Amino acid sequence: MTLDWMPAADHLDLLADPVAKALVPGLRVAEIDPGLADTAAFCARYGVALEDSANCVIVAGKRGGETRYAAVMVLATDRADVNGVIRKWLDVRKVSFAPQAEAVALTGMEYGGITPLGLPEGWPVLVDENVTNRSFLVIGSGVRRSKLAISGADLVAATRGETLVLTL
């Protein structure tokens, strides 16, 4: 099955509300089977290489009673160094993946579709340098029934992301 990439601005119904409000020029969207939103199943079914797909994970750490959140973008082929680079960047003693219900409630997006576009104000977006090198990148759309296409460089610009070496 192939993907039909369309201008996202013309298909706001395929985006979570926070993502629709954070549109950037050139962003494309494709409708998918929501049962295939998880990266491995999506890539296998739609013929997208894992290295052309990036995952967004929400992490949380505490410092002085304050919870600090960040979105972390890594290629589907890589693992984020949560307890090393990300923990130090957030300046917390311990960091972990945000609980599913918390991530969904805070972002206004569906689990399995969370994306760095349209996140709450002030949340940093940490982007692994391998992501920035991709001219074509598939990411979540905020919902499980579609995916977005963007270049790594445009992703960093659109989110004011910080490029780091985030992988193990």
Nearest alpha carbon to residue 59 among 93, 96, 94, 34: 96
Overall residue count recorded for the chain in this entry: 168
Burial 92-117 (b: 16+ CB within 10 A, else e): beebeebeeeebbebbbbbeebbbbb
Sequence ranges of the domains in the chain: 6-164
CATH 3.30.360.10 fits 6-164, yes or no: no
How far apart are the C-alpha atoms of 27 and 5, rounded to whole Å?
9
Q: Are 29 and 150 in contact (CB under 8 A)?
A: no
Give the pLDDT confidence of 133-145 residue by residue, as tens digits: 999 999 999 999 9
pLDDT band for 84, please (50, 70, 90 cuts).
Answer: very high
How far apart are the C-alpha atoms of 59 and 162, rounded to whole Å?
15
pLDDT greater than 90 at residue 15: yes
pLDDT greater than 80 at residue 1: no
Q: Are 31 and 146 in contact (CB under 8 A)?
A: yes
Tell me what the pLDDT averaged over the chain comes to.
Answer: 96
pTM of the full structure: 0.95
Gyration radius of the chain over CA positions: 15
